[in-house]
Amino acid sequence: MNFVVVRVDSVSFDTTIKLWDVEHGSLVRSLDGHRNSVFSISFILNGEFLASRSSDKCVHIWSVKEGRIMKTYKGNGSIFEVSWNKEGNKIAAIYANSVCVMDVRM
């Protein structure tokens, strides 16, 4: 099986998410919307949207194509992980002492 990586995505303490074109070594888009460090992202299976979590206690849902925040969910504590369900209409956010499932139908 051949697998070709065409994009790598990175998160940063500078509050941004960067989408990279690996083949050309170029920055495709920089997403800026969190107030604090971004710790992880999770893509919906078709790659159209991504969810990001930050130390600002927010989960942002981004349109990858448009490069903008579509929805924001504010929590009461630190978010340790975000993950889409296979249908792409819900996100689980894991907090220090709870799990929150958010309906994110676009």
Task: For residue 2, tell me if it sits in a domain.
Answer: no
Q: In DSSP terms, which residues pair with 17 in a beta bridge?
A: 11, 31
In a domain, 32, yes or no: yes
Tell me, yes or no, whether 27 lies in a domain: yes
Q: Among residues 76, 37, 77, 101, which one has the least CA distance to residue 52?
A: 37
CATH assignment at residue 21: 2.40.128.630
The pLDDT assigned to 30 comes to 82
The verdict on residue 35 lying in a domain is: yes
Q: Is residue 44 part of a domain?
A: yes
Residue range(s) defining the domain that contains residue 64? 7-103
Residues 47-86 have pLDDT tens digits of: 889 898 887 888 889 898 898 999 998 888 888 889 999 9
Q: What is the pLDDT of residue 78?
A: 81
Residues, the chain, total? Answer: 106
Total domains present in the chain: 1
